[in-house]
Amino acid sequence: MIDTFAALLTAQLRSEPGRPLVTFYDDATGERVELSVATYANWVAKTSSLLVEELDLERGGRLLVDLPAHWLTPVFLGAAWTVGLSVVDQGAADAVVCGPDGLSRYADRAAEVPVVACALLPLGVRFAEPLPGGVHDFGIEVWSQPDAFIPWDPATGDDEAMPGLSQRDLLARPARHLAPGGRLLTNLSPLLEPATLVEALVGGGSTIWVRNAEPDALQKKYDDERATARLVRPEG
């Protein structure tokens, strides 16, 4: 039985590496990104290496992730679970990941724990302006990381994925949003609903994350992307 995120991703990588897994739209910038299983796995490997080799995080730690619905959000979830970290959205943590809007909240914590900031610009590029002292720019540091990650202390199914939820239990949850092989359109960050990522992997489907879209645009994307299910809440 597959009971860790890393094992699940490896199994999908072996069976369907070229299928779309993550699609992202930002209507405020016109951005569209599509990651196949293989490309997603590559980003997860690089980010996992960054967390371990550069930030010195270890299995059993806590990673505070404060990101919106964006293609990097499932990447950080996958990397955290690959390393064996528990993802939290507030409180004490061994490291912090945030977007531009979070710099004012988390920059001061860089003196105590690693803080990684994501510009959330197209193609995952760096911030245009220098960051506060001690804050890591994901768009700079991720590119030097290797394309494969082999943990010295692999995650287990008993490791906490989120508070009160083990990796084993996360992967074993019954599907509520997506039928096998389906395509889910959502504007919810996977931090709010991790099933939007996990169900796509478990069931051989994919997820389309949309940000800053009007209702009519959501319907058009649903039709254009041949989605089969939706999970949408009002933004703002």
Task: Decide if pLDDT at 158 tops 70.
Answer: yes
Residue 209: phi and psi, rounded to 5, are -95, 135
Task: Classify domain 5-231 by CATH number.
Answer: 3.40.50.12780
| 226, burial (CB in 10 Å: exposed 0-12, middle 13-18, buried 19+) | exposed
Question: With contact defined as beta carbons under 8 Å apart, do 85 and 50 qualify?
Answer: no
Q: Where does the pLDDT of residue 101 fall: very low under 50, low under 70, confident under 90, or very high at 90 and above?
A: very high
| Whole-angstrom distance, CA of residue 5 vs CA of residue 78 | 7
Looking at residue 235, what is its pLDDT?
Answer: 73
- pLDDT > 70 in the chain, percent: 100
Cα maximum dimension of the chain: 48
| Whole-angstrom distance, CA of residue 84 vs CA of residue 104 | 28
Which pLDDT tens digit goes with each residue over 107-157? 999 999 999 999 999 888 999 999 999 999 999 999 999 999 999 999 999
| Whole-angstrom distance, CA of residue 34 vs CA of residue 25 | 9
**Pairing state between β 160-162 and 165-166:** antiparallel
> What's at 126, amino acid-wise?
R
Q: How far, in Å, are 3, 81, 106, 191 from residue 161 at the CA level?
A: 11, 6, 22, 11
Which pLDDT tens digit goes with each residue over 14-38? 999 999 999 999 999 999 999 999 9
Please state the rounded mean pLDDT for residues 63-78: 98
Looking at residue 79, what is its pLDDT?
Answer: 98
Which pLDDT tens digit goes with each residue over 199-231? 999 999 999 999 999 999 999 999 999 999 999
